[in-house]
């Protein structure tokens, strides 16, 4: 029986739900947060472990703090905190409104900031802990332009995560800060994206889609063997490397392959 306590935001569907079920099967104690009560309770029922659910809106700092405090009240501590909640948008850069942009930053970036600021002091007091921020491959490589503001929020999350890790490294070597970058995942993410998702959303062949369960399995392995960052799909390492080596050549190939 694993005695670690894991908090997961955005746990009512997709990767968060799959992660909860897989960790539950391994005996982790879980505190699951999300806005959708029925779905969240369904995930808790599938987790087959000690699970607490908290209805919360990650855009609100007080809700994140209530999620943390509920974990403390139930289990006395938190060992792993997973900032997983997020939402997409289906608009290119010139189509974005100020409201669109603010919503993406609030859901995908500020929520993670609130989570980091809520839990890291607890980890510092204990001298140990593991924070995991779920980002996206689109925060590193511009494969899908209609996810513009979503990708921008995830790119910012990548930078915040790296800076936090460096801030803590010298004084708190046993606090792990990890970034997770999934690629295309066959969840309800596209259906729930603001503005919808174009039917010709993604060119097949650039990367193989993963199921939420496959992406979650990579996160489980990260919890058991912490590292600074991972791509849930190993094939993404090479795509990112090619992009970083020569952005012009990469973008030229992508443009030509789109049929434009």
- 3-class DSSP state for residue 31? strand
**pTM for the complete prediction?**
0.91
pLDDT in tens, 200-241: 555 545 668 899 999 999 999 999 999 999 999 988 999 999
Q: Which among 150, 172, 231, 243 is annotated as catalytic?
A: 150
**Domains of the chain by start residue, with CATH:** 5-257 (3.40.50.720)
Is the model's pLDDT at 125 over the cut of 90?
yes
Is the model's pLDDT at 152 over the cut of 70?
yes
Query: Could you give the CA distance from residue 232 to residue 113 in angstroms, rounded to a whole number?
Result: 22
Res 206: pLDDT? 64
Res 194: pLDDT? 54
H or E element at residue 20:
helix 14-25
Query: Could you give the CA distance from residue 131 to residue 178 in angstroms, rounded to a whole number?
Result: 6
Query: Could you give the CA distance from residue 204 to residue 84 in angstroms, rounded to a whole number?
Result: 26
Res 260: pLDDT? 45
Query: Could you give the CA distance from residue 54 to residue 62 in angstroms, rounded to a whole number?
Result: 13
Is the model's pLDDT at 98 over the cut of 50?
yes
Q: Radius of gyration of the chain from Cα atoms?
A: 18
State yes or no: is 243 an active-site residue.
no
Residues 8, 17: contact at Cβ < 8 Å? no
Query: Could you give the CA distance from residue 166 to residue 15 in angstroms, rounded to a whole number?
Result: 27
pLDDT in tens, 59-81: 999 999 999 999 999 999 999 99
């Amino acid at each position: 029986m694993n005695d670690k306590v894991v908090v997961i935001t955005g746990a009512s569907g997709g990767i968060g739900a799959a992660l909860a079920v897989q960790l539950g099967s391994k005996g982790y104690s879980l505190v699951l947060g999300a806005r959708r009560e029925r779905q969240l309770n369904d995930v808790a029922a599938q987790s087959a472990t000690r699970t607490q659910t908290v209805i919360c809106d990650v855009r609100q700092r007080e809700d994140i703090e209530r999620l943390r405090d509920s974990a403390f009240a139930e289990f006395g501590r938190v060992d792993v905190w997973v900032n997983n909640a997020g939402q997409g948008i289906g608009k290119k850069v010139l189509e974005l409104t100020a409201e669109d942009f603010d919503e993406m930053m609030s859901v995908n970036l500020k929520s993670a900031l609130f989570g980091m600021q809520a839990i890291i002091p607890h980890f510092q007091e204990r001298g140990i802990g593991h924070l995991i921020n779920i980002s996206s491959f689109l925060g590193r490589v511009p494969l899908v332009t209609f996810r513009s503001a979503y990708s921008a929020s995830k790119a910012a999350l990548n930078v915040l995560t790296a800076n936090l890790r460096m801030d803590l490294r010298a004084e708190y070597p046993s606090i792990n800060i990890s970034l997770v970058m999934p690629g295309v995942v066959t969840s309800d993410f596209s259906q729930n994206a603001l503005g919808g998702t174009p039917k010709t959303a993604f060119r097949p062949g650039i990367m193989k889609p993963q199921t939420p369960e496959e992406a979650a399995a990579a996160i489980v392995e990260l919890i058991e063997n912490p590292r600074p960052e991972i791509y849930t799909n190993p094939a993404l390492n090479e795509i990112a490397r090619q992009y970083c080596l020569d952005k012009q050549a990469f973008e030229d190939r992508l443009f030509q392959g789109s049929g434009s």
